[in-house]
Amino acid sequence: MKILFAASEVVPFAKTGGLADVAGALPKALVRRGCEVAVMLPKYRQVDVDRFKLGKIEGNISIPIGSRIVQGGLWMTELEEKVTVYFIQQDHYFDRDGLYVDSNNQDYPDNAERFGFFSRAVLEACKILGFKPDITHAHDWQTALIPVYLKALYKQDPWFDKTRTVFTIHNLGYQGIFNKYEIVKIGLGWEFFHHEKLEFYGDLNLLKGGIIYADILTTVSRKYAEEIQTPEFGHRLDGLLRTRKKDLYGVLNGIDYEEWHPSIDKFIAANYHVDDLSGKAICKSDLQREYKLPVRSEVALIGMITRLVEQKGIDLVADVLDKIMELDIQLVLLGTGDKWAHEFFQVAQARYPQKIGVALKYDNVLAHKIEAGADMFLMPSRYEPCGLNQMYSLAYGTVPIVRATGGLDDTVENFNPTTGQGTGFKFLRPTPEELLNAIYPAILNFYTNKTGWIKLMRNGMLKNFSWDVSAGEYIKLYERALEK
Ligand code: ADP
Protein backbone atom coordinates (compact mmCIF):
# COMPACT_ATOMS: atom_id res chain seq x y z
CA MET A 1 0.00 0.00 0.00
CA LYS A 2 1.34 3.44 -0.94
CA ILE A 3 0.66 6.11 1.64
CA LEU A 4 1.13 9.83 1.42
CA PHE A 5 1.47 10.99 5.00
CA ALA A 6 1.18 14.77 5.19
CA ALA A 7 1.62 16.63 8.45
CA SER A 8 2.61 20.11 9.53
CA GLU A 9 5.15 18.83 12.06
CA VAL A 10 7.22 15.67 12.21
CA VAL A 11 9.81 14.47 14.74
CA PRO A 12 12.81 14.85 14.50
CA PHE A 13 12.53 17.79 12.08
CA ALA A 14 10.01 20.20 13.59
CA LYS A 15 7.79 19.89 16.64
CA THR A 16 5.42 21.91 18.77
CA GLY A 17 3.28 19.10 20.21
CA GLY A 18 2.04 15.53 20.10
CA LEU A 19 1.21 15.58 16.37
CA ALA A 20 4.94 15.65 15.60
CA ASP A 21 5.54 12.55 17.73
CA VAL A 22 2.80 10.69 15.89
CA ALA A 23 3.97 11.81 12.45
CA GLY A 24 7.52 10.74 13.34
CA ALA A 25 6.65 7.32 14.69
CA LEU A 26 3.59 6.00 12.84
CA PRO A 27 5.23 6.03 9.37
CA LYS A 28 8.09 3.91 10.73
CA ALA A 29 5.62 1.37 12.09
CA LEU A 30 3.71 1.35 8.81
CA VAL A 31 6.93 0.69 6.88
CA ARG A 32 7.76 -2.18 9.23
CA ARG A 33 4.40 -3.67 8.26
CA GLY A 34 5.20 -3.45 4.57
CA CYS A 35 3.65 -0.14 3.52
CA GLU A 36 5.46 2.34 1.28
CA VAL A 37 5.22 5.72 3.00
CA ALA A 38 6.12 9.20 1.79
CA VAL A 39 6.05 11.66 4.67
CA MET A 40 5.70 15.33 3.73
CA LEU A 41 6.11 18.47 5.79
CA PRO A 42 7.03 22.10 5.15
CA LYS A 43 10.69 23.00 5.00
CA TYR A 44 10.67 25.29 8.03
CA ARG A 45 13.65 27.32 9.19
CA GLN A 46 14.12 24.91 12.09
CA VAL A 47 14.61 21.90 9.79
CA ASP A 48 18.34 21.20 9.98
CA VAL A 49 19.43 20.65 6.37
CA ASP A 50 22.98 19.53 7.20
CA ARG A 51 22.20 17.30 10.15
CA PHE A 52 19.50 15.40 8.30
CA LYS A 53 21.35 15.47 4.96
CA LEU A 54 18.50 16.98 2.96
CA GLY A 55 18.92 16.89 -0.80
CA LYS A 56 17.12 19.01 -3.36
CA ILE A 57 14.93 17.33 -5.95
CA GLU A 58 14.71 18.63 -9.51
CA GLY A 59 11.47 20.30 -10.46
CA ASN A 60 9.28 23.14 -9.32
CA ILE A 61 5.87 23.18 -7.75
CA SER A 62 3.48 25.91 -8.95
CA ILE A 63 0.36 26.64 -6.96
CA PRO A 64 -2.21 29.35 -7.70
CA ILE A 65 -2.80 31.57 -4.67
CA GLY A 66 -5.57 34.03 -5.49
CA SER A 67 -4.55 35.51 -8.82
CA ARG A 68 -0.83 34.79 -8.32
CA ILE A 69 1.23 31.69 -8.95
CA VAL A 70 3.48 30.77 -6.04
CA GLN A 71 6.47 28.54 -6.72
CA GLY A 72 7.84 25.97 -4.35
CA GLY A 73 10.67 23.45 -4.24
CA LEU A 74 11.02 19.91 -3.03
CA TRP A 75 13.69 18.41 -0.77
CA MET A 76 14.10 14.97 0.65
CA THR A 77 15.93 12.73 3.06
CA GLU A 78 15.73 9.10 4.00
CA LEU A 79 15.50 7.99 7.60
CA GLU A 80 17.24 4.83 8.75
CA GLU A 81 13.99 2.93 8.97
CA LYS A 82 13.42 3.32 5.20
CA VAL A 83 10.97 6.14 5.68
CA THR A 84 11.33 8.75 2.96
CA VAL A 85 10.61 12.29 4.07
CA TYR A 86 9.90 15.14 1.66
CA PHE A 87 9.99 18.83 2.47
CA ILE A 88 7.97 21.44 0.64
CA GLN A 89 10.14 24.53 0.30
CA GLN A 90 8.57 27.95 0.06
CA ASP A 91 10.77 30.37 1.95
CA HIS A 92 8.32 33.24 2.16
CA TYR A 93 5.85 30.94 3.93
CA PHE A 94 8.07 28.62 5.91
CA ASP A 95 11.45 30.25 6.51
CA ARG A 96 10.21 31.90 9.69
CA ASP A 97 11.02 31.61 13.38
CA GLY A 98 7.85 29.76 14.40
CA LEU A 99 5.70 27.10 12.78
CA TYR A 100 2.32 28.75 13.31
CA VAL A 101 2.94 31.77 15.54
CA ASP A 102 5.42 34.63 15.70
CA SER A 103 7.68 35.47 18.61
CA ASN A 104 4.77 37.22 20.37
CA ASN A 105 2.73 34.01 20.20
CA GLN A 106 0.42 35.56 17.58
CA ASP A 107 -0.85 33.41 14.70
CA TYR A 108 0.75 34.35 11.41
CA PRO A 109 -1.95 36.28 9.53
CA ASP A 110 -1.41 34.22 6.38
CA ASN A 111 -1.77 30.76 7.96
CA ALA A 112 -4.68 29.74 5.71
CA GLU A 113 -2.63 30.65 2.66
CA ARG A 114 0.52 28.94 4.01
CA PHE A 115 -1.16 25.64 4.76
CA GLY A 116 -3.45 25.81 1.75
CA PHE A 117 -0.27 26.10 -0.31
CA PHE A 118 1.31 23.20 1.55
CA SER A 119 -1.76 20.96 1.19
CA ARG A 120 -1.91 21.47 -2.53
CA ALA A 121 1.86 21.31 -2.96
CA VAL A 122 2.04 17.80 -1.47
CA LEU A 123 -0.37 16.58 -4.16
CA GLU A 124 1.68 18.23 -6.89
CA ALA A 125 4.83 16.77 -5.33
CA CYS A 126 3.38 13.28 -5.77
CA LYS A 127 3.34 13.87 -9.51
CA ILE A 128 6.93 15.14 -9.58
CA LEU A 129 7.95 12.04 -7.66
CA GLY A 130 5.91 9.61 -9.73
CA PHE A 131 4.17 8.57 -6.51
CA LYS A 132 0.52 7.49 -6.90
CA PRO A 133 -0.81 7.18 -3.37
CA ASP A 134 -3.46 4.62 -2.50
CA ILE A 135 -4.10 6.58 0.66
CA THR A 136 -3.44 10.14 1.68
CA HIS A 137 -3.37 10.42 5.43
CA ALA A 138 -3.79 14.02 6.55
CA HIS A 139 -3.75 15.46 10.05
CA ASP A 140 -5.45 18.39 11.77
CA TRP A 141 -6.55 21.68 10.21
CA GLN A 142 -3.17 22.37 8.59
CA THR A 143 -3.65 19.52 6.11
CA ALA A 144 -7.43 19.23 6.25
CA LEU A 145 -7.64 20.74 2.77
CA ILE A 146 -6.02 17.68 1.21
CA PRO A 147 -9.24 15.60 1.18
CA VAL A 148 -11.13 18.73 0.10
CA TYR A 149 -8.78 19.38 -2.83
CA LEU A 150 -8.85 15.74 -3.91
CA LYS A 151 -12.62 15.77 -4.14
CA ALA A 152 -12.91 19.32 -5.50
CA LEU A 153 -9.90 20.26 -7.63
CA TYR A 154 -8.44 16.85 -8.48
CA LYS A 155 -11.67 14.99 -9.02
CA GLN A 156 -11.01 14.46 -12.72
CA ASP A 157 -7.28 13.92 -12.32
CA PRO A 158 -6.41 10.32 -13.24
CA TRP A 159 -3.29 10.51 -11.06
CA PHE A 160 -5.48 10.37 -7.97
CA ASP A 161 -8.49 8.44 -9.22
CA LYS A 162 -7.73 5.50 -6.94
CA THR A 163 -6.59 7.60 -3.98
CA ARG A 164 -8.72 7.46 -0.84
CA THR A 165 -8.39 9.76 2.14
CA VAL A 166 -8.00 9.30 5.86
CA PHE A 167 -8.11 12.32 8.11
CA THR A 168 -6.98 12.28 11.73
CA ILE A 169 -8.11 14.82 14.30
CA HIS A 170 -5.45 15.17 16.96
CA ASN A 171 -7.20 17.97 18.78
CA LEU A 172 -10.65 19.28 17.92
CA GLY A 173 -9.91 22.48 19.82
CA TYR A 174 -7.77 23.75 16.95
CA GLN A 175 -9.85 24.09 13.79
CA GLY A 176 -8.08 26.58 11.56
CA ILE A 177 -10.79 29.23 11.56
CA PHE A 178 -10.21 32.18 9.25
CA ASN A 179 -11.95 35.17 7.78
CA LYS A 180 -14.17 34.11 4.89
CA TYR A 181 -12.21 36.14 2.34
CA GLU A 182 -9.26 33.78 2.80
CA ILE A 183 -11.21 31.34 0.63
CA VAL A 184 -9.93 33.04 -2.51
CA LYS A 185 -6.35 32.38 -1.40
CA ILE A 186 -6.84 28.66 -0.85
CA GLY A 187 -8.05 27.99 -4.36
CA LEU A 188 -11.69 27.19 -3.62
CA GLY A 189 -14.68 28.91 -5.16
CA TRP A 190 -17.37 30.67 -3.15
CA GLU A 191 -19.61 27.64 -3.54
CA PHE A 192 -17.46 26.07 -0.81
CA PHE A 193 -18.47 28.84 1.57
CA HIS A 194 -21.64 27.01 2.47
CA HIS A 195 -22.81 25.58 5.78
CA GLU A 196 -22.60 22.06 4.37
CA LYS A 197 -19.03 22.75 3.31
CA LEU A 198 -16.38 25.02 4.89
CA GLU A 199 -18.56 27.82 6.25
CA PHE A 200 -18.74 27.91 10.04
CA TYR A 201 -20.69 30.64 11.83
CA GLY A 202 -19.71 33.18 9.18
CA ASP A 203 -16.06 32.15 9.04
CA LEU A 204 -14.01 29.66 7.10
CA ASN A 205 -13.22 26.44 8.97
CA LEU A 206 -10.56 24.21 7.43
CA LEU A 207 -10.94 21.33 9.88
CA LYS A 208 -14.61 21.16 9.00
CA GLY A 209 -13.58 20.59 5.38
CA GLY A 210 -11.47 17.59 6.39
CA ILE A 211 -14.34 16.15 8.42
CA ILE A 212 -16.78 16.45 5.53
CA TYR A 213 -14.57 15.32 2.67
CA ALA A 214 -12.35 12.53 4.05
CA ASP A 215 -13.41 8.94 3.41
CA ILE A 216 -12.43 7.80 6.89
CA LEU A 217 -12.03 9.93 10.01
CA THR A 218 -9.98 8.98 12.99
CA THR A 219 -9.04 10.50 16.27
CA VAL A 220 -6.42 9.46 18.73
CA SER A 221 -8.28 7.47 21.35
CA ARG A 222 -11.54 5.55 21.53
CA LYS A 223 -12.87 7.66 24.36
CA TYR A 224 -12.16 10.93 22.55
CA ALA A 225 -13.92 9.58 19.42
CA GLU A 226 -17.05 9.26 21.56
CA GLU A 227 -16.55 12.50 23.47
CA ILE A 228 -16.25 14.73 20.39
CA GLN A 229 -19.75 13.71 19.35
CA THR A 230 -21.13 15.45 22.45
CA PRO A 231 -21.66 19.19 22.97
CA GLU A 232 -19.30 19.22 25.97
CA PHE A 233 -16.29 18.14 23.89
CA GLY A 234 -17.51 18.85 20.35
CA HIS A 235 -16.31 22.47 19.96
CA ARG A 236 -19.46 23.17 17.94
CA LEU A 237 -18.66 20.38 15.47
CA ASP A 238 -20.32 17.58 17.46
CA GLY A 239 -23.44 17.68 15.25
CA LEU A 240 -21.38 17.26 12.09
CA LEU A 241 -19.30 14.52 13.70
CA ARG A 242 -22.45 12.64 14.65
CA THR A 243 -23.46 12.62 10.99
CA ARG A 244 -20.15 10.90 10.23
CA LYS A 245 -20.32 8.54 13.19
CA LYS A 246 -20.03 5.36 11.12
CA ASP A 247 -16.78 6.52 9.52
CA LEU A 248 -15.23 7.85 12.73
CA TYR A 249 -12.76 5.65 14.61
CA GLY A 250 -10.56 6.04 17.65
CA VAL A 251 -7.03 4.67 17.33
CA LEU A 252 -4.83 5.19 20.34
CA ASN A 253 -1.44 6.70 19.64
CA GLY A 254 1.55 4.57 20.41
CA ILE A 255 4.75 5.83 21.94
CA ASP A 256 8.20 5.65 20.47
CA TYR A 257 10.06 3.37 22.86
CA GLU A 258 13.35 4.06 21.09
CA GLU A 259 13.05 7.58 22.40
CA TRP A 260 11.08 7.03 25.57
CA HIS A 261 12.26 4.04 27.53
CA PRO A 262 14.14 4.22 30.82
CA SER A 263 16.41 1.31 29.94
CA ILE A 264 17.96 3.10 26.94
CA ASP A 265 17.17 6.80 27.47
CA LYS A 266 20.37 8.77 26.79
CA PHE A 267 19.18 11.93 28.52
CA ILE A 268 18.67 10.58 32.03
CA ALA A 269 21.20 10.24 34.86
CA ALA A 270 20.87 6.45 35.13
CA ASN A 271 19.03 3.79 33.17
CA TYR A 272 16.68 1.36 34.88
CA HIS A 273 14.02 -1.19 34.07
CA VAL A 274 11.08 -2.99 35.57
CA ASP A 275 13.22 -5.61 37.34
CA ASP A 276 15.78 -3.18 38.71
CA LEU A 277 14.42 0.22 39.63
CA SER A 278 17.57 1.42 41.45
CA GLY A 279 18.52 3.87 38.69
CA LYS A 280 15.30 5.78 39.24
CA ALA A 281 16.56 7.10 42.60
CA ILE A 282 19.62 8.53 40.82
CA CYS A 283 17.34 10.19 38.26
CA LYS A 284 15.29 11.67 41.11
CA SER A 285 18.23 13.33 42.85
CA ASP A 286 19.50 14.54 39.48
CA LEU A 287 16.10 16.13 38.82
CA GLN A 288 16.01 17.75 42.26
CA ARG A 289 19.47 19.23 41.65
CA GLU A 290 18.40 20.41 38.19
CA TYR A 291 15.50 22.33 39.78
CA LYS A 292 17.61 23.47 42.77
CA LEU A 293 15.25 21.72 45.19
CA PRO A 294 16.44 19.98 48.36
CA VAL A 295 17.79 16.56 47.37
CA ARG A 296 15.50 14.27 49.39
CA SER A 297 15.03 10.69 48.26
CA GLU A 298 12.02 10.08 50.51
CA VAL A 299 9.82 13.04 49.48
CA ALA A 300 6.95 12.60 47.01
CA LEU A 301 8.03 14.35 43.81
CA ILE A 302 5.31 15.28 41.32
CA GLY A 303 6.23 16.20 37.74
CA MET A 304 4.34 18.15 35.10
CA ILE A 305 5.29 18.73 31.46
CA THR A 306 2.64 20.65 29.63
CA ARG A 307 1.53 23.46 27.49
CA LEU A 308 0.30 26.00 30.01
CA VAL A 309 -3.18 26.39 28.60
CA GLU A 310 -6.70 25.88 29.87
CA GLN A 311 -7.08 22.58 28.02
CA LYS A 312 -4.45 21.07 30.27
CA GLY A 313 -6.28 22.00 33.48
CA ILE A 314 -3.55 24.37 34.63
CA ASP A 315 -6.14 26.56 36.30
CA LEU A 316 -7.19 23.56 38.42
CA VAL A 317 -3.62 23.11 39.59
CA ALA A 318 -3.46 26.81 40.38
CA ASP A 319 -6.66 26.47 42.41
CA VAL A 320 -5.35 23.64 44.59
CA LEU A 321 -1.72 24.70 44.83
CA ASP A 322 -1.87 26.11 48.35
CA LYS A 323 -3.71 23.01 49.54
CA ILE A 324 -1.19 20.57 48.11
CA MET A 325 1.68 22.67 49.41
CA GLU A 326 0.47 21.74 52.90
CA LEU A 327 1.64 18.19 52.09
CA ASP A 328 5.23 17.04 52.22
CA ILE A 329 5.77 17.10 48.46
CA GLN A 330 7.85 18.67 45.73
CA LEU A 331 6.44 19.79 42.39
CA VAL A 332 8.48 20.35 39.23
CA LEU A 333 6.92 21.99 36.22
CA LEU A 334 8.15 22.31 32.64
CA GLY A 335 6.04 24.22 30.18
CA THR A 336 5.22 27.29 28.21
CA GLY A 337 1.95 28.94 27.34
CA ASP A 338 -0.44 31.52 28.67
CA LYS A 339 1.03 34.61 30.28
CA TRP A 340 -1.07 34.38 33.43
CA ALA A 341 0.24 30.86 34.04
CA HIS A 342 3.86 31.93 33.60
CA GLU A 343 3.33 34.66 36.16
CA PHE A 344 1.38 32.42 38.52
CA PHE A 345 4.04 29.71 38.66
CA GLN A 346 6.89 32.20 38.98
CA VAL A 347 5.16 33.69 42.01
CA ALA A 348 4.42 30.19 43.36
CA GLN A 349 8.07 29.24 43.07
CA ALA A 350 9.10 32.36 44.97
CA ARG A 351 6.57 31.53 47.69
CA TYR A 352 7.57 27.87 48.02
CA PRO A 353 11.25 27.78 46.97
CA GLN A 354 11.88 24.50 48.83
CA LYS A 355 8.95 22.78 47.20
CA ILE A 356 8.32 24.07 43.69
CA GLY A 357 10.63 24.09 40.69
CA VAL A 358 9.54 25.93 37.57
CA ALA A 359 11.07 25.90 34.07
CA LEU A 360 9.13 28.07 31.64
CA LYS A 361 10.68 26.81 28.43
CA TYR A 362 10.58 24.02 25.90
CA ASP A 363 13.30 21.52 26.77
CA ASN A 364 13.20 17.92 25.54
CA VAL A 365 16.13 16.75 27.70
CA LEU A 366 14.50 18.12 30.83
CA ALA A 367 11.22 16.44 29.80
CA HIS A 368 13.03 13.09 29.82
CA LYS A 369 14.59 13.86 33.20
CA ILE A 370 11.18 14.64 34.68
CA GLU A 371 9.62 11.44 33.37
CA ALA A 372 12.47 9.46 34.90
CA GLY A 373 13.01 11.40 38.13
CA ALA A 374 9.49 12.13 39.34
CA ASP A 375 7.43 9.72 41.46
CA MET A 376 4.14 10.90 40.05
CA PHE A 377 3.01 12.74 36.96
CA LEU A 378 0.11 15.15 37.09
CA MET A 379 -2.10 15.64 34.03
CA PRO A 380 -5.48 17.13 34.99
CA SER A 381 -6.59 17.93 31.43
CA ARG A 382 -10.06 19.32 30.78
CA TYR A 383 -9.95 17.30 27.61
CA GLU A 384 -7.17 15.15 26.21
CA PRO A 385 -7.47 13.57 22.75
CA CYS A 386 -4.75 11.03 23.53
CA GLY A 387 -1.97 12.52 25.59
CA LEU A 388 1.54 11.17 25.40
CA ASN A 389 3.08 12.13 28.68
CA GLN A 390 0.91 9.82 30.75
CA MET A 391 2.07 6.92 28.57
CA TYR A 392 5.70 8.00 28.92
CA SER A 393 5.09 8.19 32.67
CA LEU A 394 3.76 4.64 32.77
CA ALA A 395 6.85 3.44 30.88
CA TYR A 396 9.12 5.22 33.38
CA GLY A 397 7.37 3.93 36.51
CA THR A 398 6.13 7.44 37.25
CA VAL A 399 2.59 7.08 38.48
CA PRO A 400 0.07 9.21 36.55
CA ILE A 401 -2.61 11.26 38.28
CA VAL A 402 -5.06 12.18 35.52
CA ARG A 403 -8.54 13.29 34.71
CA ALA A 404 -10.62 10.43 33.30
CA THR A 405 -11.05 11.93 29.85
CA GLY A 406 -10.06 10.95 26.28
CA GLY A 407 -6.81 9.04 25.99
CA LEU A 408 -6.07 9.56 29.68
CA ASP A 409 -9.10 7.47 30.51
CA ASP A 410 -8.19 4.84 27.91
CA THR A 411 -4.60 4.40 29.10
CA VAL A 412 -4.70 4.79 32.90
CA GLU A 413 -6.50 2.37 35.16
CA ASN A 414 -7.43 3.40 38.68
CA PHE A 415 -5.27 1.84 41.39
CA ASN A 416 -6.98 -0.48 43.81
CA PRO A 417 -4.75 -0.89 46.90
CA THR A 418 -6.61 -4.04 47.97
CA THR A 419 -6.08 -6.01 44.78
CA GLY A 420 -2.88 -4.27 43.68
CA GLN A 421 -4.44 -3.74 40.25
CA GLY A 422 -4.27 -0.52 38.29
CA THR A 423 -1.70 1.95 37.04
CA GLY A 424 -2.61 5.37 38.39
CA PHE A 425 -5.12 7.71 39.98
CA LYS A 426 -8.07 9.22 38.12
CA PHE A 427 -10.73 11.83 38.82
CA LEU A 428 -13.86 12.47 36.83
CA ARG A 429 -15.05 16.07 36.90
CA PRO A 430 -12.65 18.95 36.23
CA THR A 431 -13.04 20.59 39.62
CA PRO A 432 -10.42 21.47 42.24
CA GLU A 433 -12.16 19.20 44.79
CA GLU A 434 -12.04 16.15 42.53
CA LEU A 435 -8.43 16.86 41.61
CA LEU A 436 -7.52 16.91 45.31
CA ASN A 437 -9.43 13.68 45.77
CA ALA A 438 -7.04 12.03 43.31
CA ILE A 439 -3.86 13.64 44.66
CA TYR A 440 -4.53 12.73 48.31
CA PRO A 441 -4.76 8.95 47.86
CA ALA A 442 -1.72 9.03 45.57
CA ILE A 443 0.34 10.75 48.26
CA LEU A 444 -1.07 8.52 50.98
CA ASN A 445 -0.18 5.35 49.09
CA PHE A 446 3.27 6.69 48.30
CA TYR A 447 4.08 7.26 51.98
CA THR A 448 2.22 4.41 53.66
CA ASN A 449 1.97 1.55 51.15
CA LYS A 450 5.49 1.05 49.84
CA THR A 451 4.92 -2.48 48.49
CA GLY A 452 1.68 -1.44 46.83
CA TRP A 453 3.47 1.53 45.30
CA ILE A 454 6.21 -0.61 43.74
CA LYS A 455 3.51 -2.90 42.33
CA LEU A 456 1.71 0.15 40.95
CA MET A 457 4.90 1.38 39.28
CA ARG A 458 5.56 -2.04 37.77
CA ASN A 459 1.98 -2.43 36.53
CA GLY A 460 2.49 0.71 34.47
CA MET A 461 5.94 -0.25 33.24
CA LEU A 462 4.59 -3.56 31.94
CA LYS A 463 1.98 -1.88 29.74
CA ASN A 464 2.71 -1.89 26.03
CA PHE A 465 1.72 1.12 23.95
CA SER A 466 3.85 0.25 20.95
CA TRP A 467 3.13 1.80 17.58
CA ASP A 468 2.97 -1.61 15.95
CA VAL A 469 -0.44 -2.25 17.43
CA SER A 470 -1.78 1.14 16.32
CA ALA A 471 -0.20 0.78 12.87
CA GLY A 472 -2.11 -2.47 12.42
CA GLU A 473 -5.35 -0.67 13.22
CA TYR A 474 -4.55 2.13 10.77
CA ILE A 475 -3.83 -0.37 8.01
CA LYS A 476 -7.27 -1.91 8.55
CA LEU A 477 -8.80 1.55 8.24
CA TYR A 478 -6.78 2.27 5.09
CA GLU A 479 -8.22 -0.94 3.66
CA ARG A 480 -11.69 0.16 4.63
CA ALA A 481 -11.11 3.52 2.91
CA LEU A 482 -9.99 1.72 -0.25
CA GLU A 483 -13.31 -0.14 -0.32
CA LYS A 484 -15.10 3.20 -0.62
P1 ADP B 1 -0.19 18.20 23.28
O2 ADP B 1 0.17 17.67 21.92
O3 ADP B 1 -1.65 18.51 23.47
O4 ADP B 1 0.67 19.31 23.73
P5 ADP B 1 0.67 15.58 24.24
O6 ADP B 1 0.78 15.01 25.62
O7 ADP B 1 -0.05 14.76 23.23
O8 ADP B 1 0.07 17.04 24.36
O9 ADP B 1 2.13 15.78 23.68
C10 ADP B 1 2.98 16.74 24.19
C11 ADP B 1 4.38 16.42 23.75
O12 ADP B 1 5.15 17.62 23.82
C13 ADP B 1 5.06 15.43 24.65
O14 ADP B 1 6.02 14.71 23.91
C15 ADP B 1 5.73 16.34 25.69
O16 ADP B 1 6.84 15.75 26.31
C17 ADP B 1 6.14 17.50 24.83
N18 ADP B 1 6.21 18.79 25.55
C19 ADP B 1 5.20 19.62 25.87
N20 ADP B 1 5.67 20.74 26.49
C21 ADP B 1 7.00 20.59 26.56
C22 ADP B 1 8.08 21.40 27.08
N23 ADP B 1 7.85 22.59 27.64
N24 ADP B 1 9.33 20.94 26.95
C25 ADP B 1 9.58 19.74 26.36
N26 ADP B 1 8.62 18.93 25.86
C27 ADP B 1 7.35 19.34 25.96
Q: Percentage of the chain surpassing pLDDT 70? A: 100
Cis peptide, bond prior to residue 12, ω within 30 of zero: yes
Is 371 in contact with 393 (CB distance < 8 Å)? yes
Candidate of 388, 402, 405 to mutate for ligand 1, largest count of ligand atoms within 8 Å of Cβ: 388
HSE, side-chain direction, 13 A CA sphere, residue 201: 6
Q: Percentage of the chain surpassing pLDDT 90? A: 97
The model's confidence at residue 384, banded by pLDDT at 50, 70 and 90, is very high
The model's confidence at residue 382, banded by pLDDT at 50, 70 and 90, is very high
196 class by beta-carbon count within 10 Å (0-12 exposed, 13-18 middle, 19+ buried): exposed
Q: Check pLDDT > 90 for residue 81.
A: no
Span 460-480, mean pLDDT?
Answer: 97
- What pLDDT score was predicted for residue 80? 82
- What pLDDT score was predicted for residue 416? 97
- Judged by DSSP in three states, 123 sits in helix
Considering only CA atoms, which residue is closest to atom 26 of ligand 1? 364
**What distance in angstroms lies between residue 21's CA and the mean position of ligand 1's atoms?**
9
| Cα–Cα nearest to 406, from 208, 229, 244, 209 | 229
- What pLDDT score was predicted for residue 341? 98
The C-alpha atoms of residue 231 and residue 228 are separated, in whole angstroms, by 7
pLDDT digits (tens, 9 = 90+) for 86-110: 999 999 999 999 999 999 989 999 9
Other C-beta atoms lying within 10 Å of the C-beta of residue 74: 22
Q: Check pLDDT > 90 for residue 17.
A: no
Instruction: State if residue 337 touches ligand 1 by the CB under 6 angstroms criterion.
Output: no
Q: Check pLDDT > 90 for residue 256.
A: no
Q: Check pLDDT > 90 for residue 347.
A: yes
- What pLDDT score was predicted for residue 394? 98
The C-alpha atoms of residue 343 and residue 379 are separated, in whole angstroms, by 20
Q: ∠252-34-24 over CA atoms, to 5°?
A: 45
Is 248 in contact with 198 (CB distance < 8 Å)? no
Q: Map out the domains of the chain with their CATH numbers.
A: 2-254+467-483 (3.40.50.2000), 278-461 (3.40.50.2000)
Instruction: State if residue 406 touches ligand 1 by the CB under 6 angstroms criterion.
Output: no
Q: Check pLDDT > 90 for residue 186.
A: yes
Q: Which residues pair with 367 in a beta bridge?
A: none
> What is the model's pTM?
0.92
Span 318-337, mean pLDDT?
Answer: 97
Considering only CA atoms, which residue is closest to atom 4 of ligand 1? 17
- What pLDDT score was predicted for residue 348? 98
Is 23 in contact with 12 (CB distance < 8 Å)? no
| Least confidently predicted of 77-81, 142-146, 180-184, 473-477 | 77-81
- What pLDDT score was predicted for residue 161? 96
- What is the number of the ligand 1 atom nearest to the C-alpha of 335? 23
Q: Which residues pair with 250 in a beta bridge?
A: 219
Q: Which residues pair with 405 in a beta bridge?
A: none
Q: Check pLDDT > 90 for residue 18.
A: no
Q: Give kind and range of the element (H or E) at residue 394.
A: helix 389-395
**What distance in angstroms lies between residue 96's CA and the mean position of ligand 1's atoms?**
21
Instruction: State if residue 307 touches ligand 1 by the CB under 6 angstroms criterion.
Output: yes
- What pLDDT score was predicted for residue 175? 98
- What pLDDT score was predicted for residue 82? 86
Other C-beta atoms lying within 10 Å of the C-beta of residue 199: 17
Which segments of 204-330 does DSSP mark as H helices, in order? 206-213, 222-227, 238-243, 278-290, 314-325
- What pLDDT score was predicted for residue 203? 98
**What distance in angstroms lies between residue 478's CA and the mean position of ligand 1's atoms?**
28
Candidate of 308, 389, 402 to mutate for ligand 1, largest count of ligand atoms within 8 Å of Cβ: 389
Instruction: State if residue 16 touches ligand 1 by the CB under 6 angstroms criterion.
Output: no
Q: Check pLDDT > 90 for residue 3.
A: yes
Q: Check pLDDT > 90 for residue 70.
A: yes
Instruction: State if residue 449 touches ligand 1 by the CB under 6 angstroms criterion.
Output: no
The model's confidence at residue 440, banded by pLDDT at 50, 70 and 90, is very high
| Cα–Cα nearest to 253, from 224, 218, 225, 221 | 221
Q: Check pLDDT > 90 for residue 157.
A: yes
**What distance in angstroms lies between residue 305's CA and the mean position of ligand 1's atoms?**
7
Instruction: State if residue 390 touches ligand 1 by the CB under 6 angstroms criterion.
Output: no
- What pLDDT score was predicted for residue 32? 95
Instruction: State if residue 388 touches ligand 1 by the CB under 6 angstroms criterion.
Output: yes
Residue type, 87: F
Span 2-9, mean pLDDT?
Answer: 98
Span 282-301, mean pLDDT?
Answer: 98
The DSSP call for residue 422 is -
Q: Transcribe 426-482 into DSSP letters.
A: EESSSSHHHHHHHHHHHHHHHHH-HHHHHHHHHHHHT---BHHHHHHHHHHHHHHHH
